[in-house]
Amino acid sequence: MSNGKLFSIESFELKFPFELKKQISCALQLFNKTDSYVAFKVKTTNPKKYCVRPNTGIVLPRSTCDIMVAMQAQKEAPPDMQCKDKFLLQSVKTFDGASTKDINSEMFNKEAGHLVEECKLRVVYVSPPQPPSPVPEGSEEGSSPKGSVSENGNVSSVDFTQASREFTERSDTQDKYAEGRALITRLTEEKSNAIQQNNKFHQEPDLLKREGNKNRSGVSFIIIVLIGLLGMIMGYLMRKT
C-alpha cells in the first residue's frame, strides 16, 4: 500500500488486463487517513483514451472512495506491451461539510499557496485471465476422459493427466487386441493351407502306386499273349515235320 499524508492507495500502478478491440477497466480505491474532508482530482496524459469516474470528489474523514478508470478499446497492441500513459492524483484538505459542487480548479493551485499533495500513477498492461480449458464429459468406455472439477470450477490437472493416461493405455490395449485377432486369423489360414498341402503329398504315392499296378498288369497280359502265340507256332511247325 502506498501512503501519502492525505490518502492511502493500494499501488502506484493502474493494471489493465489488455485485450484488443475491447474496453477494459481498472479500479482505484482511495482511503482518507485524516480527520478532515479531502478533495481530489484525477488527471491523465491521454484524456481521449481514458474515462475516469469520478474524476473529482470529496472523501469524508476515515472513509474510502472507489474510482473506476476505463480505457477505450484499442485496435493494436503497443510495442512490447509497454504503455507510457500516466495519471496524476491531486488531493487537498477542504472545509468540513464540503461537497462535490464546492470543488474548483483553484483548490489545486499550488501557486495560490494551497497544500496540494500529488501522487503519480503509471499504466501497466497485464495478461487477461485465461478461462479453464473445456473438458468433454466421458461416462462409457471409449469416450473422452473426464477430469475432476474443484469447487472453484477449475479442472484438476493431476486427475486430468491420469485420466488421459488411462484412456491412452486403454486405446493401446484395444489396438493390441485387434492385432492379436488378425495374427490368429492369419495363422489359422496358413495352418489350413499346410494341411491341404500335406494331404496332397500323401495322396500322390497312392496315385503313383495305382498307375504302377496298371502298368504291371498290362505287361503280364502281353507276355501271356506272346507265350500263347509262341506255343501255337511251335505246334504248327511240329505237325509239318
Q: How much is the pLDDT for 148?
A: 45
Q: Residue 90: which H helix or E strand, with range?
A: strand 86-94
Q: Which three cell numbers stand for residue 236?
A: 504248327
Name, in order, each residue with C-beta under 8 angstroms of 8's C-beta and a sequence gap of 6 or more: 1, 2, 30, 31, 33
Nearest to 119 by CA among 204, 219, 12: 12
Helix boundaries (H) for the chain: 157-240
Distance in angstroms (rounded) separating the CA atoms of residues 43 and 118:
11
- How many residues belong to the chain? 241
Amino acid at 110: K
Distance in angstroms (rounded) separating the CA atoms of residues 76 and 60:
41
β-pair type (13-17, 7-9): unpaired
Q: Phi, psi (5° rounding) for residue 130?
A: -90, 130
Q: What is the CATH number of domain 5-124?
A: 2.60.40.10
Note down pLDDT in tens along the chain; length 241 residues: 667 899 999 999 999 999 999 999 999 999 999 999 999 999 999 999 999 999 999 999 999 999 999 999 999 988 888 999 999 999 999 999 999 999 999 999 998 889 999 999 999 999 887 777 666 555 554 454 444 444 444 444 555 456 556 656 665 666 666 777 777 887 788 777 777 777 766 666 666 666 666 666 665 677 787 887 877 877 777 776 6
Q: Running DSSP on this structure, what letter comes out for residue 113?
A: T
Q: How much is the pLDDT for 150?
A: 46
Cell 470528489 belongs to which residue?
Answer: 57
